[in-house]
Structure 1
Amino acid sequence: MKRALSTLALAAALALTHTVAQAEGCTKGAAVGGVTGHVAGDHAVAGAAAGCAIGHHEAKKKDKAASAAATASQPAGK
């Protein structure tokens, strides 16, 4: 339990050190990854780091897709 709390504290500290644009997806991913790593064994910190990276990557993909959809829906000329 003590290790899980320290992992969550580490994830929160990492999330606060990034700007909002960089941290998008990281907080949720770190929390999920930390819990998953803790359940799997003494891998909570590694799980939090991997979850942060994956969450950030997925958020960037979602933003890129939304941007492409917005560009495609605009008229093709004036």
Structure 2
Amino acid sequence: MKAITTFGAALALTLLVGGSAAEAKGCIKGAVVGGAAGSMAGHGKMGAAAGCAVGHHRANKKDQQQQGGSQGQGQAR
């Protein structure tokens, strides 16, 4: 039951803060995974928030890599 509540809270937060589905890319999936992991440790809401942030970051990173695939190959990182 906590996972459902956590997911609902994360979804509501995403819709309120994000404004559009394009900006929330990766957040929902991350929030579900983070909420599930956090609820096992007793911190479902914090896990969902952290999962949302990590999922959003990874989605943005993946998009940047796909857009600049041929541009950034000469740089060493």
TM over 0.5: yes
Deviation for aligned residue 1:32: 0.4
Where does the alignment leave 5 or more consecutive residues of structure 1 unmatched? Answer: 73-78
User: Deviations 1:37-68 (Å, cap 9, x if unpaired)?
Assistant: 0012x200000000000000000000000010
Offset at residue 20 of structure 1 (A): 1.9
Moved over 6 A (4+): none
TM-score (norm 2): 0.80
* Structure with more of its chain in helix, by fraction: 1
Corresponding residue pairs, total: 69
Distance, in Å, in 1 between the alignment partners of 2:3 and 2:29 is 15
TM-score, normalising length from structure 1? 0.79
What RMSD in Å do the two structures reach over aligned CA positions? 1.3
Structure 2, unaligned stretches of length 5 or more?
Answer: 72-77
Structure possessing the higher radius of gyration over alpha carbons? 1
- The match for 1:76 is none
% same residue:
49
Aligned to 2:12: 13
